[in-house]
């Protein structure tokens, strides 16, 4: 299965992705993690991306698309993958569709983890990451709302979106995700 998980910063994507990859037996493609690894390794992509990440802004599509294209071409992605943090803009989504179509593949379903903004802020205060200070976090929320939220319409139009309530325990949320996966495999989410 080829699944995308979309959610604002702090929605709990990381926790649910860990469970999902074990459940689906597919590789986890997290662009946030790929970028942080590139920054640590000092690759050309990492050097270009570092300032954007530090400011909570999206890294230019070109950099991300190059990284994801390479990763998706690997053997372990042939039978599926879990995309986490990609696509994040409409051009990224269109590029992904083209890329998959050329290999006679497609996205099976998109899961939105919906969490209200005040809860995101509470969670950000409770955890600590370099790009988690209030100002930078607010930039990340703004880029989610302006650049990523339009993808929800894009995938609704494709009949692929399942919106999940992201409030509750990690177990409860994972049960909701598994219920959504069943609708994807039956194609009844349309």
Under the rule (CB under 6 A), what is the footprint of ligand ADP? 9, 13, 31-32, 35, 52-53, 56-59, 64, 85-86, 88, 92, 140
Q: What is the DSSP string of the chain?
A: -EEEEE--TTSSHHHHHHHHHHHHT--EEEHHHHHHHHHHHT-HHHHHHHHHHHHTPPPPHHHHHHHHHHHHTSGGGTT-EEEES---SHHHHHHHHHHHHHTT----EEEEEE--HHHHHHHHHHS--TT-SHHHHHHHHHHIIIIITHHHHHHHHTT-EEEEE--S-HHHHHHHHHHHHHHHHHT---
Of the two residues 140 and 176, which places its CB atom closer to ligand ADP in the complex?
140
The residues near 135 (Cβ < 8 Å, ≥ 6 apart) are: 56
Task: State in angstroms the smallest separation of the CB of 71 from ligand ADP.
Answer: 12
Task: State in angstroms the smallest separation of the CB of 181 from ligand ADP.
Answer: 21
Of the two residues 85 and 109, which places its CB atom closer to ligand ADP in the complex?
85
Of the two residues 138 and 158, which places its CB atom closer to ligand ADP in the complex?
138
And the tokens for 9? 């910063």
Residue closest to ligand ADP, measured at CB: 32
Of the two residues 57 and 158, which places its CB atom closer to ligand ADP in the complex?
57
Task: State in angstroms the smallest separation of the CB of 40 from ligand ADP.
Answer: 13
Of the two residues 46 and 56, which places its CB atom closer to ligand ADP in the complex?
56
Task: State in angstroms the smallest separation of the CB of 180 from ligand ADP.
Answer: 19
Dist CA 109 CA 121 (whole Å): 28
Task: State in angstroms the smallest separation of the CB of 159 from ligand ADP.
Answer: 23
């Amino acid at each position: 299965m080829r699944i995308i998980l979309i959610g604002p910063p702090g929605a709990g994507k990381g926790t649910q992705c860990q469970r999902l990859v074990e459940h689906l037996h597919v590789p986890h493609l997290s662009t946030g993690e790929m970028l942080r690894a590139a920054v640590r390794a000092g690759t050309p992509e990492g050097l270009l991306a570092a300032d954007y990440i530090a400011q909570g802004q999206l890294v230019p599509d070109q950099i991300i698309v190059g990284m994801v294209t390479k990763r998706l071409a690997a053997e372990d992605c042939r039978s599926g993958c879990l995309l986490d943090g990609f696509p994040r803009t409409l051009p990224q989504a269109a590029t992904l569709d083209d890329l998959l179509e050329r290999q006679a593949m497609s996205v099976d379903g998109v899961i939105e983890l919906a969490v209200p903004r005040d809860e995101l802020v509470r969670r950000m205060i409770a955890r600590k990451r370099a790009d988690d200070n209030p100002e930078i976090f607010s930039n990340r929320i703004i880029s989610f709302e302006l650049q990523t939220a339009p993808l929800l319409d894009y995938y609704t139009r494709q009949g692929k979106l399942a919106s999940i309530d992201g409030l509750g325990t990690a177990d409860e949320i994972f049960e909701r995700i598994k219920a959504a996966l069943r609708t994807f495999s039956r194609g009844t989410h349309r």
